[in-house]
């Protein structure tokens, strides 16, 4: 009886592990959390908006576009203990859309948008460690008609 319970327990763990370790969450986005000192928020606000304009100017948009951007959201908190937190989420309809974003970035970082990208040093300086968002767990984007 104890042996049967032991194997039942192992079987349950095996089943659970395969469910939780599967790669069924799509990799259709990128994002990060930034923790920015209050004295830097005007600078960060300005260049995050410029970065958003770059995406608008250079990326395919909408559901009917191949590799289209589904949404870009940049939110920020109120000041807390001398910092403001930014949450940046960039989402595409497919994994190939995210790969296309990487290609566009690689093209523009040393090209026409080099000056703008040089101002974005704060992404690495203020990024909360391990906060990159690479998988979409749940999305609700109502269609606008």
pTM for the full predicted model: 0.74
Query: What range defines the domain where residue 43 resides?
Result: 26-126
Q: What is the pLDDT of residues 29-80, one digit of tens each?
A: 888 999 999 999 999 999 999 999 999 999 999 877 888 898 899 999 999 9
CATH of residue 64's domain is 3.30.70.100
- From residue 7, alpha-carbon distances to 15, 17, 21, 74 in Å are 12, 15, 21, 49
**53 within domain boundaries:** yes
**41 within domain boundaries:** yes
Cite the DSSP H helix spans in the chain: 2-20, 41-58, 95-108, 114-118, 122-126
Half-sphere exposure of 56 (CA within 13 A, CB side): 8
């Amino acid at each position: 009886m104890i042996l049967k319970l032991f194997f039942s327990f192992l079987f349950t763990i095996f089943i659970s592990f395969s469910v939780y370790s599967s790669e069924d969450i799509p990799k259709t986005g990128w994002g990060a959390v930034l923790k920015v000192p209050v004295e830097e928020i005007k600078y960060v606000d300005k260049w995050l908006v410029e970065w958003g304009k770059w995406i608008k100017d250079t990326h395919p948009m909408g559901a009917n576009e191949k590799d289209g951007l589904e949404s870009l959201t940049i939110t920020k908190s109120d000041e807390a203990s001398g910092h403001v937190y930014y949450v940046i989420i960039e989402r595409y309809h497919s994994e190939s859309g995210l790969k296309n974003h990487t290609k566009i970035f690689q093209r523009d970082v040393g090209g026409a948008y080099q000056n703008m990208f040089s101002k974005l040093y704060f992404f690495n300086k203020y990024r909360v460690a391990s906060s990159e968002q690479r998988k979409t767990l749940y999305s609700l984007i109502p269609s606008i008609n």
